[in-house]
Structure 1
Amino acid sequence: MSFTVAIVGRPNVGKSTLFNRLVGKKLALVDDTPGVTRDRRPGDARLIDLEFTIIDTAGLEESGAETLEGRMRGMTEAAIDEADLTLFLIDAKVGVTPVDAAFGEILRRKAKPVVLVANKSEARGSDAGFLDAYNLGLGDPCPISAEHGEGMLDLRDAIVEKIGEDRAFPEEVEDEDDQAIANVDVPLDTDDDEDAPEPAYDETKSLRVAVVGRPNAGKSTMINRFVGYERLLTGPEAGITRDSISVEWDWRGRRIKMFDTAGMRRKARVQEKLEKLSVADALRAIRFAEVVIVVLDAAIPFEKQDLQIADLVLREGRALVLAFNKWDAIEDRQETLAKLREMTERLLPQARGIRAVPVAGKTGEGLDKLMQAVVDTHKVWNVRISTAKLNRWLEQVTAQHPPPAVAGRRLKLKYMTQIKARPPGFIVSCTRPDALPASYTRYLTNQLRVDFNLPGVPIRLSYRKSDNPFAPKKTRKIY
């Protein structure tokens, strides 16, 4: 992108609504409650023919530096320093308030280009507030309606005037190496006569990781330690994070895109609309991610909600890694670690061998081991096994433990192949698949996990009834 723009203003003036309008998606949470946005969220914006990076910020409030509002204001000021241009939003219906005037003075001291935007100008009685904006001394206000998309052309012209046409429309330089990553369709391996070479794992491909857990488990603190600076808002208060914020960084030469999510409480306790929106945003982050780190408090691990979150991740088909956070507060580490490993195997049998790493988000202890566990689990999640190996394996396991006879009739497993990866999915051709008991499916799944080294990832195993070669073929009607 050619330049960066930060959207700032008081709470509830429509910053997130304008952010969503410019990026063309409902990325930021929007609600009538003031102060919904807390962390700064970047996005790729497009306005008519302009393309730039936009940053949504928390509402500016006058408060002490140690309070939550004060820390939010610090994040907003960091976004202003990072941006090349600032969009200062005011509510045209309300007019200029003393808080607007105070922060207008702060923007003048920053000595950076500012576009004054009078939002909600479509409302009746907004003319007085629009004219009042001239008192801020930041130039002509630009009247818009972020909710209805009015005034976007005027906003585009104001941005170009402030940033300059050379910066707004840089000359495009063709670069053969700068190409979008193509989605490669992996062909299904249907050769059952000989072993086909299994595709190698790409160590350089970027990795999407979501960090989830209960409120106040230390997710944001851990991500800040990963990136090396205070990128996300943290504090002793529970439930600070609301939006799912993506953070990009490099780990051992590999690009990592990590999503911080809101704490997920039990469904019965989620009553407010805003918290429901936050949880829905966290669920979208899980579906978008490849590997999900479930953060647990090492002092009180495996609460019912922790198990439900882990089960949700596995049902979504994502690779799962457990992080026992706040390890620096544990005194008897050896005994606690043995207990945690036993509980992991016992309470999460649906994905045996889940990698669990004790970490300390505040000090950074164990974070390298955690990322290595993420990469190792991602490798397993992407594994593909040739059909020849699978059928030799199927012959062995059915010889050792044949499927039970149902109603005096024998069940026969004939053929097996892998139909997908991410997570590994297999299909078995057999007689009477509806009569095969669930216990035998668990037996096959556990043997697959052990014999092909597939720990900690969900395995999809389905059955298909084979065609009867002696049955009369259906005639095709020609009209």
Structure 2
Amino acid sequence: MSFTLAIVGRPNVGKSTLFNRLVGKRLALVDDQPGVTRDLREGEARLGDLKFTVIDTAGLEEVTDESLQGRMRRLTERAVEMADICLFLIDARAGVLPSDEVFADILRRKNAHVILAANKAEGSAADAGVIEAYGLGLGEPIRLSAEHGEGLNDLYSQLLPLADEFEKRAAEIAPETDVDVSDDDDDDGPRKITQANPMQVAVVGRPNAGKSTLINALLGEDKMLTGPEAGITRDAISTQFNWSGTPVRIWDTAGMRKKAKVQEKLEKLSVSDGLRAVKFAEVVVVLLDVEIPFEQQDLRIADLAEREGRAVVIAVNKWDLEDEKQDKLKELKEEFARLLPQLKGAPLITVSAKTGRGLDRLHDAVIRAYDIWNRRVSTARLNRWLTGMLEVHPPPAPGGKRIKLRYMTQVKTRPPAFVVMCSHPDKMPDSYKRYLVNGLRQDFDMPGTPIRLTLRGQGDKNPYKGKTKSTPSRLRKHLGKGPAGG
């Protein structure tokens, strides 16, 4: 059985550095200034033969009010209550501070399994702090250096007996547990997503559009830090959950501002973290604020998702604040069509993260966008379609010599990509390529998804050479790779 380990402690004691060390990659933002981490970040950790879930938490602050720091503290305390084990980190070089003593007392009351570790303990300068840690009453401290990977064997030694205890408990409970695994057996729809391979969804937008509030509403719990302050979220935080029967890993990202306004080092790191989330996502939900929709930065974010080849859903948040809903919806659709023609047909959904209205429609729109993004059209259907398109609107004849379109096939999905073999591909105007792309959208029911169309001549070098799994045999024949098989 796996277990959950929450890393807790004051700001800037090295929690995120240790988190990154345990998961084996840089998932959490790390900086010299305190208070970088604000949300709860989960990762799959491995230490020797132990596999477990590790949670990076915000630095514990001695505040309990409704301020940002107070809300961060409550979120961390919630993680403490949920975790199987808490790893309480102190800074060995700074020694034990009064706040460490306060938090040690909280941990004793809130979690049955607390491991104490003195981080930044490399060198003799940390000796005094390690000795002081004994006074916290949490047992012998582990001497750690998260930055250099020292002391992890000692951490393993303390985790191992607890892991064995959890596994023994699970074995005792397992025979009495009735697990229903038949839910997906009757699903004969086009979507086949398993828990082992959840759909990757990123929620992006400008600061204060309500991204974290939306994800909390979908999760049914306050897992992401929210509030009136813009720019609360700094990391791209992912959470896996079951969304109305669909396994999903959803990413909450930092608000993206204009590049000229992104000046601080930390904000640059946050924005780049969000951009990486877009690149790894399958569906991108671009969240707009109904009071100021389709700002220039909104358009840039949506265009980025399209250029990265992601399925895109536009969601307009704070719909509960709008009085003239019908008129506003008509206005939004007109602006969408005018300002984002490259996403023609993509869904535009109105939601209220605060009240929960519209979340079912958002789920359906995300599923449909994902299905279209994965759509494949047979070569036979494509070439029958191409013949009809040529009859309705023949290609141009530059210099009096008409361009001939000989053959078409789909070379990949995610997003759908097509290759057309033709004469003089370099002379084909963009307007005719748009004609073909729009026809593909309409006739094969692929609204909104990015479509890649490439024109190639007989003598062009084949970019798919060697990728026989994704290159249909008929296309290989036309590219001069020998007879088609089958």
Please tell me whether the aligned partners of residues 377 and 457 of structure 1 are also in contact (alpha carbons under 8 angstroms): yes
Which residue of the partner structure matches residue 335 of structure 2? 343
- 1:66 and 2:57 correspond: no
Task: Identify which range, 208-217 or 123-132, moves more after superposition.
Answer: 123-132
Please tell me whether the aligned partners of residues 86 and 111 of structure 2 are also in contact (alpha carbons under 8 angstroms): no
Please tell me whether the aligned partners of residues 80 and 111 of structure 2 are also in contact (alpha carbons under 8 angstroms): no
Shift of 1:111: 4.7
Which residue of the partner structure matches residue 419 of structure 2? 427
Select 2:455's aligned residue among 454, 460, 463: 463
Shift of 1:169: 8.3
Q: Secondary structure at the match of 2:43?
A: strand
Shift of 1:164: 5.8
- 1:78 and 2:70 correspond: no
Select 1:202's aligned residue among 179, 182, 191: 191
- 1:404 and 2:396 correspond: yes
Gap change, CA 1:168 and 1:251, over 3 Å in 2:
closer
| Offset from partner CA, 1:113-150 (integer Å, 9 cap, x none) | 11110000114411111111111111111101000001
AA matched with 1:326? K
Please tell me whether the aligned partners of residues 201 and 283 of structure 2 are also in contact (alpha carbons under 8 angstroms): yes
Shift of 1:65: 2.5
User: How many Å separate the matches in 2 of 1:111 and 1:64?
Assistant: 19
Select 1:382's aligned residue among 356, 374, 377: 374
Gap change, CA 1:426 and 1:215, over 3 Å in 2:
same
Shift of 1:273: 1.3
Which residue of the partner structure matches residue 152 of structure 1? 152
AA matched with 2:25? K
Which residue of the partner structure matches residue 24 of structure 1? 24
Which residue of the partner structure matches residue 359 of structure 1? 351
AA matched with 2:261? R
Q: Secondary structure at the match of 1:233?
A: coil
Select 1:395's aligned residue among 375, 382, 387: 387
User: How many Å separate the matches in 2 of 1:124 and 1:434?
Assistant: 69
Which residue of the partner structure matches residue 128 of structure 1? 128
User: How many Å separate the matches in 2 of 1:376 and 1:2?
Assistant: 34
User: How many Å separate the matches in 2 of 1:411 and 1:200?
Assistant: 41
AA matched with 2:212? S
AA matched with 1:456? G
Shift of 1:248: 2.2
Gap change, CA 1:10 and 1:389, over 3 Å in 2:
same
| Offset from partner CA, 1:239-264 (integer Å, 9 cap, x none) | 01111111222233221221111101
- Percent pairwise identity: 58
Shift of 1:437: 1.0
User: How many Å separate the matches in 1 of 2:165 and 2:125?
Assistant: 38
Taking structure 1 as the reference length, what is the TM-score of the superposition? 0.90
Which residue of the partner structure matches residue 219 of structure 1? 211
- 1:167 and 2:166 correspond: yes
User: How many Å separate the matches in 1 of 2:11 and 2:89?
Assistant: 10
User: How many Å separate the matches in 1 of 2:372 and 2:110?
Assistant: 50
Which residue of the partner structure matches residue 195 of structure 1? none
Which residue of the partner structure matches residue 449 of structure 1? 441
| Offset from partner CA, 1:172-218 (integer Å, 9 cap, x none) | 99xxx9xxxxxxxxxxxxxxxxxxxxx97234443221100000000
| Offset from partner CA, 1:57-76 (integer Å, 9 cap, x none) | 00000113301111111111
Please tell me whether the aligned partners of residues 93 and 123 of structure 1 are also in contact (alpha carbons under 8 angstroms): no
Which residue of the partner structure matches residue 113 of structure 2? 113
Please tell me whether the aligned partners of residues 50 and 169 of structure 1 are also in contact (alpha carbons under 8 angstroms): no
RMSD: 2.2
User: How many Å separate the matches in 1 of 2:40 and 2:291?
Assistant: 31
Which residue of the partner structure matches residue 187 of structure 1? none
AA matched with 2:190? Y
Structure 2 counterparts to residues 209-358 of structure 1, below 5 A: 209-358=201-350
Which residue of the partner structure matches residue 50 of structure 2? 50
User: How many Å separate the matches in 2 of 1:236 and 1:164?
Assistant: 41
Taking structure 2 as the reference length, what is the TM-score of the superposition? 0.88
User: How many Å separate the matches in 1 of 2:12 and 2:141?
Assistant: 18
Shift of 1:277: 1.1
Shift of 1:409: 2.1
Gap change, CA 1:156 and 1:170, over 3 Å in 2:
farther
Which residue of the partner structure matches residue 192 of structure 1? none
Shift of 1:168: 6.4
Q: Secondary structure at the match of 2:454?
A: strand
| Offset from partner CA, 1:293-316 (integer Å, 9 cap, x none) | 000001110000000000000000
User: How many Å separate the matches in 2 of 1:124 and 1:463?
Assistant: 67
Which residue of the partner structure matches residue 188 of structure 1? none
Which residue of the partner structure matches residue 41 of structure 1? 41
User: How many Å separate the matches in 2 of 1:461 and 1:164?
Assistant: 53
Task: Identify which range, 266-275 or 308-317, moves more after superposition.
Answer: 266-275
Shift of 1:19: 0.6
User: How many Å separate the matches in 2 of 1:108 and 1:369?
Assistant: 44
Gap change, CA 1:66 and 1:267, over 3 Å in 2:
same
Q: Secondary structure at the match of 2:71?
A: helix
| Offset from partner CA, 1:393-445 (integer Å, 9 cap, x none) | 11111122111112232211110001111111000000011111111111111
Unpaired runs of at least 5, structure 2: 180-187, 461-479, 481-486
| Offset from partner CA, 1:40-73 (integer Å, 9 cap, x none) | 1111111122221111100000113301111111
Task: Identify which range, 87-96 or 37-46, moves more after superposition.
Answer: 37-46
User: How many Å separate the matches in 2 of 1:391 and 1:110?
Assistant: 66
Shift of 1:279: 1.1
User: How many Å separate the matches in 2 of 1:20 and 1:58?
Assistant: 15
User: How many Å separate the matches in 2 of 1:319 and 1:295?
Assistant: 14
Shift of 1:16: 0.5
Q: Secondary structure at the match of 2:125?
A: coil
Q: Secondary structure at the match of 1:416?
A: strand
